[in-house]
Amino acid sequence: MTATPWISVIGLGEDGLDVLPPAVRALVDGAEVLIGGERHLAMVPKSHSARRMTWRSPLRDTIADIRLLAGKKVCVLATGDPMSYGIGVTLGREFGRQALTVIPAPGAFTLAAARLGWPLEQVTRLTVHGRPLDLVSRHLQPGAKLLILSEDGSTPAALAALLVERGYGPSELTVFEHMGGPDEAQTTEIAEKWGNRQVRDLNTVAISCVAAKDTLPLAAVPGLPDESFLHDGQLTKREVRAATLAVLGPRPGALLWDVGTGNGSIAIEWMRAGGRAIGIEPDAERRDRAARNAAVLGVPDLRLVAGRAPDALDGLPAPEAVFIGGGTSAEGLLEYCWAALAPGGCLVANAVTLESETRLAQFRDRVGGEMVRIAVSRLDAVGPYHGWRPLMPVTQLSIRKSFGG
């Protein structure tokens, strides 16, 4: 028998409760507990007898409060579409979809796209509400159209500054305030001309991306130029990096361990392809550079762990891919990573020294896998002429773990 939902999640627009269909309004009127922000709860008549609760910080405290209300008629009031970066997503994860009845209203993305005439399927939709602003950097491409939910009234100015810093100062910003309400406002300006202008806290930003003349757009696929990264010379070079990531096979949501992450290039490109990553690095300066690279390249949620593998790997969530870019000769490292790797996952290890290459060959003899040697030469000046200057060859071991273990 299907359980009866006990949490109603009602999306509201600026026009409030009055435009809700009768059946939806009945969920609000019949609630024993009303939960929402102060702005939402103010829309409910004072005569309503329900207990009222506002969101607490941290949010998990309110989630704990809701658990104690199981069996009561709980109505959560939200903005727009609760399933688009909204509270409906969190409640569904915490209580399961069977507990919820979700009634969306037109959300900020839908309303902004309608006003701009932008097809939603061609728009990248993001939020910086409670999230790092640098997340936007990953999506900056000439001609890209972005819709972004703001943190507050200072967000448009911060986004404009970010665009200028990343070489997209000529981009056009359109800021919508209180869409759907009687005091809706719309402002359009070029990013490099926005300055410190403030708007009201409830706003959504649309960006039509235009690159400055000297801006080199960064590809969405692996193989960013070496110059894209701060580094100390210890960097997996572009050609080897692209080949390595092709074998690792990034996919959305999959977790990578980047063991000996150095300046973070493999982990960062994995994340730019939609995955998650943990970089393990004992050197503090390299960790700092990796963090800076991750922010500039749009993946500020790269997790960095201080320490030397395999000891530093204890307690980390199981990976779906492992890259070992250094330290392959460390006792037990390959064995530890192979044991931790999820079924179906891939382990890739690169070596440049004879000792590390021998270690990879010995491990392959026991476990299997493929070994290749990657040799790259780059054209360079030789006096008044040009010649091919070889980089150090890289020996690569790759192993796919079967679902049988």
pLDDT, tens only, 117-140: 999 999 999 999 999 999 999 999
Are residue 257 and residue 347 in the same domain, yes or no?
yes
Quick one: pLDDT at residue 348? Answer: 98
Are residue 92 and residue 37 in the same domain, yes or no?
yes
pLDDT, tens only, 197-217: 999 999 999 999 999 999 999
Average pLDDT of 292-301? 96
High-pLDDT (> 90) share of the chain, %: 92
In this prediction the pTM is 0.89
Please determine, for residue 2, whether its predicted confidence score (pLDDT) is greater than 60. no
CATH number at residue 35: 3.40.1010.10
Please determine, for residue 59, whether its predicted confidence score (pLDDT) is greater than 80. yes
Mean pLDDT across the chain:
95
Quick one: pLDDT at residue 404? Answer: 66
Are residue 264 and residue 278 in the same domain, yes or no?
yes
pLDDT, tens only, 15-35: 899 899 999 999 999 999 999
Are residue 260 and residue 116 in the same domain, yes or no?
no
383 belongs to a structural domain? yes
215 belongs to a structural domain? no
Confidence of residue 233 (pLDDT cuts 50, 70, 90): confident
218 belongs to a structural domain? no
Quick one: pLDDT at residue 370? Answer: 96
Are residue 165 and residue 92 in the same domain, yes or no?
no
Please determine, for residue 249, whether its predicted confidence score (pLDDT) is greater than 90. yes
Please determine, for residue 6, whether its predicted confidence score (pLDDT) is greater than 70. yes
1 belongs to a structural domain? no
Confidence of residue 234 (pLDDT cuts 50, 70, 90): confident
Are residue 16 and residue 97 in the same domain, yes or no?
yes
Range with the poorest average pLDDT among 120-124, 274-278, 329-333, 344-348: 329-333
Are residue 358 and residue 245 in the same domain, yes or no?
yes
Please determine, for residue 318, whether its predicted confidence score (pLDDT) is greater than 60. yes
Are residue 97 and residue 117 in the same domain, yes or no?
no
Average pLDDT of 290-316? 96
Please determine, for residue 324, whether its predicted confidence score (pLDDT) is greater than 70. yes
Quick one: pLDDT at residue 1? Answer: 42
Give the domain-ending residue among 88, 105, 122. Answer: 105
CATH number at residue 162: 3.30.950.10
Separation of alpha carbons 304 and 109, rounded Å: 33
pLDDT, tens only, 251-284: 999 999 999 999 999 999 999 999 999 999 999 9
Are residue 161 and residue 98 in the same domain, yes or no?
no
Quick one: pLDDT at residue 82? Answer: 96
User: What residues make up the domain containing 188?
Assistant: 109-208
High-pLDDT (> 70) share of the chain, %: 99
Quick one: pLDDT at residue 258? Answer: 98
Range with the poorest average pLDDT among 220-224, 274-278, 342-346: 220-224
Are residue 148 and residue 101 in the same domain, yes or no?
no
Confidence of residue 329 (pLDDT cuts 50, 70, 90): confident
Confidence of residue 54 (pLDDT cuts 50, 70, 90): very high
Are residue 314 and residue 339 in the same domain, yes or no?
yes
Average pLDDT of 321-326? 93
Range with the poorest average pLDDT among 105-114, 121-130, 227-236, 325-334: 325-334
Are residue 115 and residue 87 in the same domain, yes or no?
no
Confidence of residue 220 (pLDDT cuts 50, 70, 90): confident
